């Protein structure tokens, strides 16, 4: 079917793909259309052949899109991977030489931390406190300072690349322990990672594990360290707000959540958490206001007392009012007794 049949397709419904009116598959419409997205959909329909094969119309649509948006994704074409036959002998020799030199360099870098898998390191690690849950493990919320100092000693004199490798490995082990629900083990691994290279990510993950262990003080300290490194770290602000909420520092928690919303105004979790804490603050306000009023009344009484005579008169008035109240109460009590006894007499 050639391009001459295009007019016969007009006003015959829509395409199966994208529901484009058939009348839009026309030279005049494509020439006047300025909506690149719509033209891209038309081009995909023409290329698919679902409405027929129109090579000239397809080429016309491609040129129109190129005129409106030369960087359009619809103009990109998949090309097969290049092979040696696609290059000259000199070009291929240059490419192959660069590739082999890169492989050699990577192999040398891989050999540098090879000592990590030697027996010497395994013997050293055997002297460290056990990590897996056992009877000799440290209790929750406790990480031995000796563990950190000893682990630091192992890596003195290492290159920066070696330290990054070890710190990353220990952090990944901590992530695995956290995912399995062993939060104490995760804290130990994160502590090891920090002892080699302190990073905001390791402190942040360690704080989250400590929150799971309800070690609020340690979690707060780690959140502070993260925020010292990255003042607008959203995760650290959220976790510090959680800690302050548990410590009943509601106003401080609100401040942290407001900082989160300044960075991410559409953060749904922060909004929900902020509403919950504000409700707690509102429930505490009536108690504080009542206490404040009581104190003001006491101060007013002291200021109104003008000497011994005034205090004597107030004492007499208080005594008289007390006697009056007792007389009224006794009268009501006797009246109620008589009222209850009437049905029995009748």
Average pLDDT score over residue span 102-117: 68
Q: How many domains does the chain have?
A: 1
Q: Is residue 45 part of a domain?
A: yes
Residue 50 domain-assigned (yes or no):
yes
pTM of the model: 0.45
Q: Is residue 127 over pLDDT 80? A: no
Q: For the chain, give the percent of residues with pLDDT over 70.
A: 64
Asked whether residue 41 is assigned to any structural domain, the reply reads: yes
**Does a structural domain hold residue 94?**
no
**Which residues, 6+ apart, have CB-to-CB distance to 237 below 8 Å?**
223, 227, 256, 257, 259, 260
Rounded Cα distance between 331 and 327, Å, is 6
Assign 3-class secondary structure to 13-46.
CECCCCCCEHHHCCHHHHHHCCCHHHHHHHHHHH
Compute, in degrees rounded to 10, the torsion defined by CA atoms 133, 137, 138, 140.
20
Q: Which whole number is the average pLDDT over 56-79?
A: 86
In this structure, what are the phi and psi dihedrals at residue 65, rounded to the nearest 5 degrees? -65, -40
Asked if the model's pLDDT at residue 190 lies above 60, the reply is yes
User: Residue 32: inside a domain, yes or no?
Assistant: yes
For residue 150, CA distances in Å to 114, 124, 145, 153, 177 come to: 21, 10, 9, 5, 22
Q: Is residue 212 part of a domain?
A: no
Q: Does residue 288 belong to any structural domain of this protein?
A: no
Residues of the domain holding 43: 3-75
Measured torsion, CA atoms of residues 305, 311, 316, 318, in degrees rounded to the nearest 10: 50
pLDDT, residue 283, reads: 86
Mean pLDDT of the chain: 75
Q: What is the pLDDT of residue 52?
A: 86
Check residue 306 and report its DSSP letter: -
Residue at 243 is within a domain: no
């Amino acid at each position: 079917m050639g391009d001459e049949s295009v007019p016969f397709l007009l006003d015959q419904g829509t395409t199966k793909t994208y529901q484009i009116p058939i009348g839009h598959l026309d030279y005049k419409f494509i020439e006047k259309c300025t909506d690149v997205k719509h033209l891209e959909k038309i081009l995909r329909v023409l290329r698919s052949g679902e409405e027929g094969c129109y090579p000239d119309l397809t080429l016309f649509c491609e040129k129109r899109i190129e005129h409106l948006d030369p960087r359009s994704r619809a103009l990109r074409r998949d090309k097969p991977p290049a092979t040696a036959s696609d290059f000259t002998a000199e070009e291929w020799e240059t490419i192959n030489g660069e590739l082999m030199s890169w492989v050699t360099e990577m192999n040398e870098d891989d050999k540098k931390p090879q000592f990590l898998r030697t027996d010497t390191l395994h013997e050293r690690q055997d002297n460290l406190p056990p990590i897996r849950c056992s009877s000799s493990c440290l209790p929750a919320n406790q990480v031995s300072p000796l563990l950190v100092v000893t682990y630091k000693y192992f890596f003195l004199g290492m290159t920066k690349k070696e330290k990054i490798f070890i710190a990353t490995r220990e952090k990944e082990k901590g992530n695995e322990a956290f995912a399995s629900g062993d939060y104490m083990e995760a804290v130990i691994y994160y502590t090891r990672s920090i002892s080699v290279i302190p990073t905001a990510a390791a402190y942040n993950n360690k704080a989250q594990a400590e929150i799971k262990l309800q070690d609020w003080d340690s979690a707060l300290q780690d959140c502070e360290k993260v925020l010292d490194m990255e003042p607008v770290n959203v995760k650290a602000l959220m976790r510090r707000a959680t800690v302050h909420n548990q410590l009943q520092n509601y106003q401080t928690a609100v401040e942290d959540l407001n900082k989160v919303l300044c960075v991410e105004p559409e953060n749904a979790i922060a909004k929900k958490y902020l509403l919950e804490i504000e409700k707690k603050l509102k429930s505490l306000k009536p108690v504080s206001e009542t206490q404040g009023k009581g104190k003001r009344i006491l101060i007013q009484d002291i200021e109104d007392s003008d000497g011994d005579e005034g205090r004597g008169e107030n004492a007499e008035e208080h005594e008289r009012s007390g006697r009056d109240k007792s007389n009224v109460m006794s009268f009501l009590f006797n009246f109620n007794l008589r009222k209850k006894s009437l049905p029995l007499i009748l």
